[in-house]
Structure 1
Amino acid sequence: MKTIFKMMALLMAVGTMNAQDLPDGQTIAEKTYERNEGNSVKRTLIMELTDKRGKTRVRETTALRKYFGEERRLIIFYNTPTSVKGTAFLTYDYPSAEVDDDQWLYLPALRKTRRISASNRGDYFLGTDLTYEDIKLETKISRDDYNYKTIGKETIDGHECYVIEATPKDDDIAKELGYSKAKFWVDAKVWMMRKSESWDIAGNPLKTVNVSDIREIQGIWTLHRIDVQNHKTKHKTVFRFEDIDYSTALSDDYFTEEALVDGL
């Protein structure tokens, strides 16, 4: 009997020690920002949108990203189909949490550029199942919106991941994001999110996101596919990244409000 109690005590001690050895959630979130993304990248982004009846629509875009010091800019130009050709989205991701990011959407049918306010960052991005905020972050975890708790390690597609739980820091952030809580699986080697689950404001399951086909391109770990399932609407979106190039110099002029209208 004494031996059994000793073994139980040892197992409990090991479990406590392992939990203490895990990095805290905030550190994991910060690490997702520290990885090398290259100074700039050009790529083709194909979006496949499938409704609950199984009907699929395809959007092909060109996505450009560039760093201006610590400021990160992303612009997406829609190429096909003709019904959305010319639509463009631009975001300025500022390093300071005290400054709201700037986002603009150009709709050629209206010949108008619309500014996306911070309060709308939880809106869905042009019929997809990712929000404007999700598009901006890609495989990063927000450093500023959540309180985190590391709950363990799990393996996703053969890759060891830290698992963290996240709750918005206040009610206003929860309403902006559209999430009451979230759970993230972050690759312990390359510091990219491989999976996330989120719950709506009422606490109901909302979305599951799976990131796959992460491999090195020109020495930089790069995602190639994101699958998103919306559990409330039964809608799903697949994002496929192709023709990825970190070496081509991108003009600063691409990342302006004027470029939204002028296109590539």
Structure 2
Amino acid sequence: MSVFALTADEIAQKVEDRDDGDNVVSTITMTLIDKNNNQRVRSMKKYAKDKGDDTQSVIFFLKPSDVKDTAFLTYDFADSDKDDDQWLYLPALRKTKRIVSSDKSGSFMGSDFSYADMTQRDIKDYSYKIAKESKVGDVDVWIMESKPKSQKTIDETGYNKSYMFVRKDNFVVTRAIHFLTDGKKKYLDVKKLEEIDGVWVSTLVEMKTTKNKNTLHKTILKTEGVKYNQDIKESFFSVRRIEKGL
């Protein structure tokens, strides 16, 4: 099938179907930058494993000390009729909090990424159209407009509408603009894309929150040491396990 003949829904499906590897271990550095350019840096270890069409992942915070041993567990279900499950373990309280739907538009650990951003969006919850064809740098992209089909999805994500810049050569979303219900905008930019063992990985990503063209806050995620096909047991992805720590 020629890429020129693809419909908006077919492009969205190819984005979802893109190989993201399995049994993955990686190290992530999260840098939080406020409007005065003050920076906070956090180090994390991420583990992810496919279970059929579903994906399980866990993130352990390693440092600094105020977030050490915090852990975040996600069950990302392929079935659109099942809500994704997320839990956050807070060691200071020795308590695991389940992230309910009404909290998913909230900030993940003080970053510009929401809890909803930490899962793969279900394409059946959105309507798509190709807004136009363009370039990001010297790479051809489709600019796709996506709108939630239901108020439930708007409430969970906090987004009224998004534009996604999808590369024509590999179906990676290299840029996105999200329009929030509170009038803010969030800009996602993939600053570095690497092919690791045949899988395209966004190894440097920036998410910036703006209002009236003023930057309020931004988050940079740097992913390193990506290893696929690691021996990760399924029991690793449980509330009991995240409460133990690494």
**Same-fold status (TM-score > 0.5):** yes
In the alignment, structure 1 residue 235 sits paired with structure 2 residue 217: yes
Structure 2 residue identity aligned to 1:170: S
Aligned residues: 241
Change in Cα spacing, 1:205 to 1:119, as seen in structure 2 (3 Å) is closer
Provide the aligned C-alpha RMSD in A.
Answer: 1.6
SS of corresponding position for 2:117: helix
Give the structure 2 partner of residue 16 of structure 1.
none
Segments of structure 1 that go 5 or more residues without pairing to the other structure are 1-19
In the alignment, structure 1 residue 224 sits paired with structure 2 residue 203: yes
In the alignment, structure 1 residue 194 sits paired with structure 2 residue 174: yes
- Whole-angstrom distance in 1 between the partners of 2:199 and 2:184: 33
In the alignment, structure 1 residue 128 sits paired with structure 2 residue 107: no
- Whole-angstrom distance in 2 between the partners of 1:157 and 1:247: 33
- Whole-angstrom distance in 2 between the partners of 1:248 and 1:157: 35
Using the TM superposition, name which of 252-261 and 105-114 deviates more.
252-261
- Whole-angstrom distance in 2 between the partners of 1:145 and 1:131: 17
- Whole-angstrom distance in 2 between the partners of 1:183 and 1:85: 35
- Whole-angstrom distance in 2 between the partners of 1:220 and 1:167: 28
In the alignment, structure 1 residue 248 sits paired with structure 2 residue 230: yes
> Over residues 72-125 of structure 1, what are the superposed CA-to-partner deviations in whole Å (9 max), with x where a residue is unaligned?
011000000001000000000111101111110000000000101123221111
> Over residues 215-235 of structure 1, what are the superposed CA-to-partner deviations in whole Å (9 max), with x where a residue is unaligned?
211121111011011003610
> Over residues 134-183 of structure 1, what are the superposed CA-to-partner deviations in whole Å (9 max), with x where a residue is unaligned?
1223xxx5413221111222111322111111111122321221111110
> So what's the TM-score if we normalise by structure 1?
0.87
In the alignment, structure 1 residue 206 sits paired with structure 2 residue 185: yes
Give the structure 2 partner of residue 34 of structure 1.
17
Give the structure 1 partner of residue 46 of structure 2.
63
Structure 2 residue identity aligned to 1:145: D
Give the structure 2 partner of residue 101 of structure 1.
84
List structure 1 runs of 4+ shifted beyond 6 angstroms. Answer: none
Give the structure 2 partner of residue 13 of structure 1.
none
Percent sequence identity over aligned pairs: 32
Where is the strand percentage greater, Structure 1 or Structure 2? 2
Shift of 1:21: 4.2
> Over residues 234-256 of structure 1, what are the superposed CA-to-partner deviations in whole Å (9 max), with x where a residue is unaligned?
10000000011113221212211
Where is the helix percentage greater, Structure 1 or Structure 2? 1
Give the structure 2 partner of residue 72 of structure 1.
55
- Whole-angstrom distance in 2 between the partners of 1:196 and 1:58: 24
Structure 1 residue identity aligned to 2:8: G
Q: Work out whether residues 149 and 166 of structure 1, in 8 Å CA contact, stay in contact via their aligned partners in 2.
A: yes
Segments of structure 2 that go 5 or more residues without pairing to the other structure are none
> So what's the TM-score if we normalise by structure 2?
0.93
Give the structure 2 partner of residue 12 of structure 1.
none
Higher gyration radius (CA): 1
Give the structure 1 partner of residue 29 of structure 2.
46
Give the structure 2 partner of residue 257 of structure 1.
239
- Whole-angstrom distance in 1 between the partners of 2:136 and 2:5: 17
